[in-house]
Amino acid sequence: MSYKLPDHFLWGGAVAAHQVEGGYNLGGKGLSICDVLSGGSVDRDRVITDGIDQNQYYPNHEATDFYHHFKEDIALFAEMGFKCFRTSIAWTRIFPNGDEQTPNEEGLKFYDDLFDELLKYNIEPVITLSHFEMPYHLVKEYGGWADRRVIDFFVHYSEIVMQRYKSKVKYWMTFNEINNQAKYAYPLFGYCCSGVVFNDYERPEEMMYQVVHHQLVASAKVVKLGHAINPDFKIGCMIGFIPYYPFSCHPDDMMYAVEKMHKHFVFSDVHMRGEYPSYALKEWERKGYNIKMEPEDARILKEGCTDYLGFSYYMTNTVKADDQGTNTGLTSGSVTNPHIKASDWGWPIDPVGLRYALNVLYERYQKPLFIVENGFGAYDNVEANGEINDDYRIGYLQAHIEQMAKAVAVDGVDLIGYTPWGCLDCVSFTTGEYRKRYGFIYVDKHDDGTGTMARSRKKSFYWYQQVIRNNGGV
């Protein structure tokens, strides 16, 4: 049985500035944290470098050259029938160093042109203010988000772009996957979210919460300011949601899963409810953490609750209480779920988990939800006749869309829209590769630096066009 989505449902796709734009030093742009990340390879993770090293390859410098191709790409989105398109603004196009007062007009103009092009096709822009990047200058000179002064720089940047685009952009998000910086096993997340390598500190978790507190205060200020600029703005937060299943019905497994879920919820609870939850305060007390806060912070957080919750969903994780030391998935403490298969990169594939996620989040907050990322990273093969038959991607997305539609039709979840990740092939964030592809649109660009940047339609392009045309009923 297939369920249709509501008429106003926002079908679309998602990318982030640093993973598609390229043009890293064009139009007055400053160096961002992602511009100093090397590419990855089969035997090596991405490296956090200290500036431009000519011996390293920096895929973000070119990415998939959306900077020059956006008109062509948006025409293809329109052909698919997109109602919305999620991307981010590169802070460094607007403020090259991050701490200036006056914005860079050329950068502002770039996004004017981009949003106008979207609106020409009635595609609603959905804009993330900070998607895993910040000016590199703020990292070097201030130590990133560890420094409270960065709050004001971010609020100033946000005010400038919200003012400028107030009649073009309605849907905003403050920080992408703010919770993912808690993944200490993958310092890349923490570094890109905040400019801080938490493992360098004696108590990495305490520093992480300090950084996050600054970001939560900044987000709340931006929400309040945004509503004053345009009361119609919908300003959301964004978490990477990997629900935890208990490995068994053993009560200890169940409680362990609850504790692991708290590790996600501490972020969204503050964004959505405007205060720190009891379990977080108790944890800090137990561990002797001292998170520095100003007296006005409690009020600021309360006044800046987000309007909706955006989240990415790629997988679930399964945890076992007596196996807390192992690390078989993307999250420590997780074990293999025997009922779920995995992608080529070891990411568990669990469509029903998406319905579960939607239920858990909606029950918790009773505010609109937005699935702003979901997708299947895979190797694509271009056949001799130019076709790309990505049935594996279609299968993955179709199964997830069915569960999403069920959550709306059967469970009554209030869902704004769905933007599959990497609708246009882009640079993988975790691996820095081109070959881990998510797109409906193929880009001829490869890890050895070759490729023409030519765009072509994959089989999934035509399939998604039908999905949108039929409002989910395929």
Identify whether 373 is a catalytic site residue.
yes
Could you tell me the two tokens for 60? Answer: 């973000």
- Sequence-ordered list of residues with C-beta below 8 angstroms from that of 311, at least 6 positions apart, any chain: 238, 239, 240, 241, 357, 361, 369, 370, 371, 372, 373
Q: Nearest approach, Cβ of 181 to ligand BGP (angstroms)?
A: 11
Number of neighbours of residue 356 by Cβ within 10 angstroms: 17
Q: Nearest approach, Cβ of 244 to ligand BGP (angstroms)?
A: 17
The region that residue 288 occupies, defined by phi over 0 for left and psi between -120 and 50 for alpha, beta otherwise, is left
Residue identified by tokens 């594996």 is 392
Whichever of 181 and 431 has its CB closer to ligand BGP, that residue is 431
Q: Nearest approach, Cβ of 126 to ligand BGP (angstroms)?
A: 13
Instruction: Report the distance separating Cα 253 and Cα 263, nearest Å.
Output: 16
Burial category of 332 from C-beta neighbours within 10 Å (exposed 0-12, middle 13-18, buried 19 and up): middle
Whichever of 189 and 256 has its CB closer to ligand BGP, that residue is 189
Whichever of 18 and 221 has its CB closer to ligand BGP, that residue is 18
Residue 294 CA, distance from chain mean position? 29
Instruction: Report the distance separating Cα 122 and Cα 82, nearest Å.
Output: 9
Instruction: Point out which residues bind ligand BGP (CB under 6 A).
Output: 16, 19, 132, 176-177, 240, 312, 373, 377, 421, 428-431, 436
Q: Within 60-148, where are the H helices?
A: 66-80, 91-94, 105-120, 136-142
Q: What is the dihedral of CA 392, 59, 125, 368, to 10 degrees?
A: 60
Q: Nearest approach, Cβ of 349 to ligand BGP (angstroms)?
A: 14
Cβ atoms 85, 422 nearer than 8 A:
no
Q: Nearest approach, Cβ of 427 to ligand BGP (angstroms)?
A: 7
Q: Nearest approach, Cβ of 362 to ligand BGP (angstroms)?
A: 21
Q: Nearest approach, Cβ of 132 to ligand BGP (angstroms)?
A: 6
- 62, 117, 133, 373: the catalytic one is 373
> How many contiguous H segments (helices) and E segments (strands) does the chain have?
14, 15
Q: What SS3 class is residue 333? A: coil
Number of neighbours of residue 301 by Cβ within 10 angstroms: 23
Catalytically active residues are 373
